[in-house]
Amino acid sequence: MATTSRFSLAVMGGAFVLGCASALTPIDQLLPDVLTGIPTVEVYSSDVAALAEARPARTLEEIVKAVPALEERTDSSQAANAYPLISELTVSKGDTLSDLLLSSGISSADAQDIVKLLRPVYDPRKLGVGKSLTVNLAKDEVDGNTPTIESINLPISATSSLEVSRSKKNDEFQVKTIEVPTERRLAHAGGVIKSSLYETTVQSGMPASLVSEIINAYSYDVDFQREVKQGDAIDVLFERVQTTEGVQVGAGNVIYAELALGNRNMKIYRYVDSQGNSDYYNDKGESVRKALLRTPINGAKVTSGFGMRNHPLLGYTKMHRGIDFGAPTGTPIYAAGDGTVSFVGRKNGYGNYVSIKHNSQYTSAYAHMSRFASGMTQGRKVKQGQIIGYVGSTGMATGPHLHYEILANNEQVNPANVKFKAGQILQGKEMLAFRKTMAKVEAQLASIPRGGKMDVAMNYDASGNLN
């Protein structure tokens, strides 16, 4: 490729002087005197070749004739764009979608049409600094100087993008969503708990979003505030979601977990039954889901247990017939189980209070709420895990917390000591199918080292269980 530099005006001026002196004077004699002080410039490599070929011609006139005309040489930066032209536009501070489109060289009318088309499906304000879009330009058949857009690809998430293209039929823009193909692969994480279960699982490579799923699954049988200690261990088999090119874009389900607490080893397996319902089961085929939650609030600390205590406001020893969970005002409170709201309103020292009757034996109660969830009325049916109110400090309370009670036959009992039956126990064909799922999970667990993942995408049977 020839070097793309040009003669400066100074050089051309020197050539003019030389020409005036004598068109026939040998160039060797004139150059040293005339070009003194003129900046050195590069010439085309093709020019050098031409000069070499023209060496017998020693006059300036002959050399100039031997050099190709300047207008015939074109810098690469000035070369006509080769279409179709694909470019990636990156958002800088202060840029708008319209600015970016105009910077590609398209007409203002095209830019306005595209922004108007995208507005119902995409908020241009979400176009953050550092994000990029790919623009495919074509040469306008009518106006050869202004390029026209063939298509635009605008990523809106890790797995999808918007594609704007020009219709061949009516020459108008159209938009559609493009989904990136993904696959699921099993991964293995866990380790000895040193500070907290959360830190152990996340540091071992498990997505933080799945930790709460594990805690929820075990919360029916484990008091995470008091039972989980340093030296205990957690082992987890879970799904990583990635593109077919290997880029991780999210997390799927927890397939298996084993929590070792002292002398207790609790294994749970994800299983989808023949009706399409998914849940976690222990190795006996018993659902981990119980009739009532032990902890109807997330991320709260037990500030006072069930039993005799020195009352913080009354100043004397008194029986505390529930468990207090300290949490910020406004923290959601969940129904401990399916049931019917039997009371909602203000109740003496309890402040804002809700009670839910679950069956002929058990009722749960929630006190000191800042407010009730929308639609909480007496007689309303609620489902386990449904938000019924929010933490507060109404009634006799020294600070925001949830006072939680379980009543068995209308008598308050210690929620930590109540043994509830499993929500579902697999039997017959369901139990046989579950055992097959267990065997497959155990095999994968043994084949994937902790910290590793499957080399191939996962396969599932018709129900959605590991194949």
Predicted local confidence at residue 258, as pLDDT: 94
Position 3 pLDDT exceeds 80 = no
Looking at residue 95, its pLDDT comes to 83
What was the pLDDT predicted at 110?
85
* Band (17; pLDDT cuts 50, 70, 90): very low
> What is the average pLDDT across 292-306?
80
Q: How many residues does the chain have?
A: 467
Query: Is the confidence at residue 370, as pLDDT, over 70?
Result: yes
Can you read off the two tokens belonging to residue 360?
């002929």
Residue 3 has, within 13 A of its CA and on its CB side, a CA count of: 11
Give residue-wise pLDDT tens across range 47-89. Answer: 444 444 545 545 555 544 554 444 443 333 333 456 778 878 8
Percent of the chain with pLDDT over 70: 78
| Mean pLDDT computed over 308-322 | 65
> What value does the mean pLDDT of the chain take?
79
Q: Find the mean pLDDT for residues 141-162.
A: 78
Nearest residue to 458 via CA among 277, 239, 209, 207: 239
> How many CB atoms neighbour CB 440 within 10 A?
16
> Pairing state of beta strands 371-372 and 381-382?
unpaired
Average pLDDT value for residue range 16-41: 46
Higher pLDDT, 3 or 191: 191
Q: What is each CA distance from 353 to 29, 393, 397, in whole angstroms? A: 109, 11, 13
For residue 455, what pLDDT is reported? 67
Q: Does position 26 have pLDDT exceeding 70, yes or no?
A: no
Spatial distance between the Cα atoms of 293 and 131, rounded to a whole number of angstroms: 44
Fill in the amino acid letter for 147. Answer: P
The residue with greater pLDDT, 171 or 328, is 328
Mean pLDDT is lowest, of 19-23, 190-194, 463-467, for 19-23
Q: What is the pLDDT of residues 229-257, one digit of tens each?
A: 889 999 999 998 888 777 778 888 999 99
Instruction: Considering only CA atoms, give the Rg of the chain.
Output: 38
Can you tell me the mean pLDDT for 261-289? 91
46 pLDDT band, cuts 50/70/90, is very low
| DSSP category for residue 428 | H
Instruction: Give the H/E segment covering residue 233.
Output: strand 233-243
Question: Is residue 36 scored above 70 in pLDDT?
Answer: no
Indicate the Cα dihedral angle 443, 446, 448, 454, nearest 10°.
0
Tokens describing residue 205: 């490579």
Band the pLDDT of 13: cuts 50, 70, 90: very low
**The pLDDT of residue 33 is above 90:** no
pLDDT of residue 6: 41
Domains of the chain: 9-76 (no CATH), 85-179 (3.10.450.350), 182-290+424-467 (3.10.450.350), 301-417 (2.70.70.10)
Which of 159, 214, 222 shows the shortest CA–CA distance to 189?
A: 214
DSSP alpha helix (H) spans, 144-218? 197-203, 208-218
Is the pLDDT at 421 greater than 80? The verdict is no
Which amino acid makes up residue 52? A
Average pLDDT over residues 426-433: 94
pLDDT of res. 54: 47
Lowest-confidence segment of 33-37, 187-191, 261-265 by average pLDDT: 33-37
